[in-house]
Structure 1
Amino acid sequence: MEYKILDSIPDIANVKSFTDRYFSKRYILNVDGVENNDIMLMFHSNRITLLSLAPSHFFFKKDMKYTINFSIGNVDRLNNTVKGKGKKGGQILTPNSIICKIEYSDGSSFDVPCGLKGTLIEVNEQLVKHPELLKEMPDANGYIAIILSSIANSEAAKNKLLSHEEYIKLFEST
């Protein structure tokens, strides 16, 4: 019997990404009353949440050079350090806590809020050197931050926010 190894390889076009397989996407639309200021929170079952910009965010429509600044007022998110299994020492966040500022070459900018009560585990330092990741891979290597919240906070947030299916339906109709 002849075995063809190439026949055993799955169709890569139909394979889901890591975040699509293991994370539940939720959305907050029009943050601070600003139209299309939309963020995406990707929840893992282990309470880890990835913060990113939603595909509908106005950022993706603006074609201008930009940088990502994690220094917010007197807090530098890049200096966030956590230790141990319990992630001690992480910066405490509220849903309105600013994680970073995206600054355009024309001097304009906007803040990216956390959207969730929790502890900052880390920010994506790669965005400082390679800001294009935010635009090219927002739900993968272009995530902004990793947040850890309690089970209660995580579940409450998931239940309040727009699910991925609801988000898709909302934008299909427009």
Structure 2
Amino acid sequence: MDFKILDSIPDLAKFKSFTDRYFSKRYILNVEGIKNNDIMLMFHSNRITLLSLAPSHYFFKKNEKFKINFDIGKIDRLSNSVKGKGKKGGQLLLPKSVICKVEYDDGESFDIPCCMKGTLIEVNEELVKHPELLKEMPDSNGFIAIILSSIAISEATKNELLSHEDYMKIIANEASKN
């Protein structure tokens, strides 16, 4: 019997990513009435939500150097500190609360709101050192922030937003028009 060990290794390209397996992706299109200002929220069953930019966001079309700034005026999101099981001390967020700014070298910038009510658990500090993660891996290592909300708020927000399937249909429809 001839058995080749390398033949038993599955094709890893067929496996879903961690976020695809454990998170439910939802989308908000044209936030604050700005065309292609699209946000992706990824909900886990434990009420944790990851904030990122949707693939259709205008950010992905601009190829200029940029940085991520978590200092948004009176509040430095990098100074957020939570403690214990109850996540005490996290910054309270409303849907229009700005998490960070994307700042281009040419002086142009835009704000990224959290789009839901909750508590800021953590911002992705890696984006300060490696901002390209936001562009290269927005739904994994390039997430912007982790938000925790109540079960009721999490479920209500999730139900109000576009599902991944509906989002893909809208994006495909818009692409066919252009």
Scaled by the length of structure 2, the TM-score of the pair is 0.95
Distance in structure 2 (CA, Å) of the matches to 1:77 and 1:89: 12
Structure 1 alignment gaps of length 5 or more? none
Task: Write the distance in 2 (CA, Å) between the matches of 1:169 and 1:8.
Answer: 37
SS of residue paired to 1:170: helix
Q: Distance in 1 between matches of 2:86 and 2:6?
A: 45
Q: Deviations over 1:9-46 (max 9, x none)?
A: 21112111110011000001000000000000000111
Aligned amino acid, residue 73 of structure 1: G
Equivalenced residue count is 174
Match of 2:25 in 1: 25
State the match for 1:108 in structure 2: 108
- Matched residue, 2:155: 155
Deviates most, 52-61 or 5-14: 5-14
Q: How many Å separate the matches in 1 of 2:152 and 2:85?
A: 19
Residues 65-94 of structure 1 deviation map (CA, whole Å, 9 limit, x = unaligned): 111100111100000000001100000001
1:155 Cα shift?
0.2
Partner SS state of residue 78, structure 2: helix
Residue 6, structure 1, aligned to residue 6, structure 2: yes
The aligned counterpart of 2:89 is: 89
Indicate yes or no: 2:111 matched with 1:117. Answer: no
- Structure 2, unmatched stretches of 5+, are none
| Residue 2 of structure 1, CA deviation | 4.5
- Report sequence identity in percent: 76
SS at match of 1:173: helix
**Structure 1 residue 5, shift from structure 2 partner:** 2.3
Q: Letter of the aligned partner of 1:41 in structure 2?
A: L
Give, as a single letter, the amino acid of the residue that structure 1 aligns with 2:15.
V
**What is aligned with 1:76?**
76
- AA aligned opposite 2:128: V
User: What is the RMSD computed on CA atoms of the aligned residues?
Assistant: 0.9
Deviation at 1:3, TM superposition (A): 3.9
Find the counterpart in structure 1 of residue 98 from structure 2.
98
TM-score of the pair, normalised by structure 1: 0.97
Work out the CA distance in 2 between the residues paired with 1:41 and 1:131.
19
Say which SS state the counterpart of residue 42 (structure 1) adopts.
strand
Matched, 1:16 2:11: no
Give secondary structure in 2 for the equivalent of 1:156.
helix
Displacement of 1:8: 2.3
Supply the distance in 1 between the matched residues of 2:131 and 2:161 (Cα, whole angstroms). 27
1:115-154 equivalences under 5 Å are 115-154=115-154
Report the more deviating stretch, 10-19 or 48-57: 10-19
Q: Secondary structure at the match of 2:50?
A: strand
In structure 2, C-alpha distance between the alignment counterparts of 1:87 and 1:3, rounded to whole Å: 51
In the alignment, the residues of structure 2 paired with residue 44 and residue 9 of structure 1 have an alpha-carbon distance, to the nearest angstrom, of 29
Q: Which residue of 2 aligns with 1:64?
A: 64
